[in-house]
Amino acid sequence: MATKQLASWAVNLDAASLPESVRQCALRSLYNYIGCTIGGSNHATVSKACDALSPFFGRETSSLLGHEGTKKVDAQHAALINGIASHVHDYDDTHLATIIHPTGPVASALLAYAEYSGGTSGESLLCALTAGIEASCKIGLAVWPEHYDIGWHITSSTGNVGAAVAVGKLMQLSEDQMAHAIGIAAVQVVGLREMFGSDTKSFHPGRAAQSGLLAALLAEKGYTSSPQALEAKRGWANVVAGGGTPKLEQYVSELSQKWEIEANAFKPFPCGIVCHPAIDGCIQLHHEMKSKGLRVQDVQKVDATVHPLVIELTSKRAPKDGLEGKFSVFHGGAVGLLYGKAGPAQYADEVVTDEGVVSIRDRIDATPDKNLKPDEVYLTVHFADGTELKRHVLHAVGSLEVPMTDEQLTEKFVDQVALVLGSDGAKEASDTAWKIAEARDVTGVLGRL
């Protein structure tokens, strides 16, 4: 039942009837995706892919977000390359219950197809995006955690289906065609965790996007798969999760009752999530010091009490470059205190090795306490004159309890996009991206990003 039920639900999902909260989540997910994708567009991993694939580019219909020069390529390559860019900085969204980064595969396929086909409204786009994200996350929940534990990269191994559902929705496939599209997508299982740390990690969501798009294109022309693709004995869920799919039917039956997109979170800082509470607290302290006229240079010592995972994963005392900086809670805290920011610019190699930053970093200490929750921190800042500032962060910004505000999302967008398009270009792109929902036809909008 699950395959047909998912297909039927997606085909019948009505843009005008989407709850406003869901629509907002879809817009925020899309906006964040656009920022991450432009932000990743000049990464070496993306450049290598473009270099390898440019001889195969077809008709130029679909934008490579953020790119100068070869701006448009065929829709299949746009899906692949934007998908790579969306994930390459590990800065994309997270459905926390499954650690799926859902928007990358879905939106990469969807935007590429929207531009190819022309005439899609912003509202249709958000509805299709929602359908795709719900599809990915529901089937992800069904196989979580076995599937991830086995070694699959769950973002891409569910994103293929999400991408097919989203594109199929925009195509207005029939229920039968949509079921076949889901099946054709489901046989293309991409992504192994062994690849984490290599270029291939971000290839995963890109290829998932492209696979889902391909599935929908084939189904549209009558290509058949199986109407039990997800739930059959030798179908997707059993094969990728080592057997047993009772949860699949359950989760699919909850479509439209519980919206997974409402549980989609955004990363405020481009580093491991465990050090986010400390960075958040340090940024708050930066603002408090500023308002009180205290100088960070006068700080003598900072004591942080953190969840033990913070020490285990991010305790690099003397990071040597940007990449190592991402594994140093001390660097994250230092730039938070100094600049009130821990964006991509603060993880540049030259910032990580900057004398002023190093000097503050060396004054920070962290003590593990297993009674804390992972997104909690206690901070005390000691000044030479005996002044003390204290801060307790119960939930870090970017958690479901304290989601990033639209303003914070905008800051994140502009900070990362400015590194590619410059400051003015970034602000312009941000304005354009926020307005995408209002577009009668998104084609023109995407061409400007």
Contact set with its own copies (CB under 8 A)? 45, 48-49, 51-53, 55-59, 74-76, 116, 150-153, 183-184, 186-195, 197-200, 203-204, 207, 217-218, 220-226, 228-229, 232-236, 238-239, 242
Strands 377-383 and 388-393 turn out to be antiparallel
Please identify, using beta-carbon distances, which residue of 91 and 203 lies nearer to its own copies.
203
Please identify, using beta-carbon distances, which residue of 121 and 238 lies nearer to its own copies.
238
| Token pair belonging to 233 | 């004995």
Please identify, using beta-carbon distances, which residue of 59 and 290 lies nearer to its own copies.
59
Least gap, CB of 231 to its own copies (angstroms)? 9
Helix axes 2-12, 175-186, angle to 10 degrees: 120
Least gap, CB of 424 to its own copies (angstroms)? 33
Least gap, CB of 132 to its own copies (angstroms)? 19
Please identify, using beta-carbon distances, which residue of 213 and 278 lies nearer to its own copies.
213
Residues 76, 136 contacting (CB under 8 angstroms): no
Residues 346, 335 contacting (CB under 8 angstroms): yes
CA–CA distance, 84 with 87 (Å, rounded to integer): 6
Please identify, using beta-carbon distances, which residue of 13 and 167 lies nearer to its own copies.
167
Helix axes 200-220, 103-117, angle to 10 degrees: 50
Least gap, CB of 292 to its own copies (angstroms)? 48
Closest CA to 396 of 290, 268, 308: 268
CB-neighbour burial class of residue 405 (10 A; exposed 0-12, middle 13-18, buried 19+): exposed
Rounded to 5°, angle at Cα 200 from 374 and 98: 35
Q: 428 vs 24, 93, 190, CA distance in Å?
A: 21, 22, 35
Strands 364-368 and 264-265 turn out to be unpaired
CA–CA distance, 169 with 187 (Å, rounded to integer): 19
CA–CA distance, 227 with 337 (Å, rounded to integer): 56
Least gap, CB of 72 to its own copies (angstroms)? 13
Closest CA to 156 of 206, 196, 82: 206
Q: How many residues does the chain have?
A: 449
Please identify, using beta-carbon distances, which residue of 176 and 288 lies nearer to its own copies.
176
Closest CA to 142 of 253, 29, 216: 253
Name the DSSP class of 403.
Answer: P
Q: How far apart are the first and last CA of the chain?
A: 40
| Token pair belonging to 431 | 């304005």
Closest CA to 102 of 192, 30, 167: 30
Radius of gyration of the chain (CA): 22
Least gap, CB of 203 to its own copies (angstroms)? 7
Least gap, CB of 114 to its own copies (angstroms)? 15
Please identify, using beta-carbon distances, which residue of 204 and 391 lies nearer to its own copies.
204
Least gap, CB of 140 to its own copies (angstroms)? 16
Task: For the beta carbon of residue 355, count every other beta carbon within 10 angstroms.
Answer: 7
Please identify, using beta-carbon distances, which residue of 59 and 373 lies nearer to its own copies.
59
CB-neighbour burial class of residue 382 (10 A; exposed 0-12, middle 13-18, buried 19+): middle
Please identify, using beta-carbon distances, which residue of 238 and 387 lies nearer to its own copies.
238
Please identify, using beta-carbon distances, which residue of 34 and 208 lies nearer to its own copies.
208
Q: 87 vs 11, 41, 185, CA distance in Å?
A: 28, 10, 20
What residues form DSSP beta bridges with 303?
365, 380
Please identify, using beta-carbon distances, which residue of 198 and 367 lies nearer to its own copies.
198
Least gap, CB of 200 to its own copies (angstroms)? 4
Least gap, CB of 416 to its own copies (angstroms)? 23
Least gap, CB of 151 to its own copies (angstroms)? 3
Least gap, CB of 191 to its own copies (angstroms)? 6
Please identify, using beta-carbon distances, which residue of 80 and 289 lies nearer to its own copies.
80
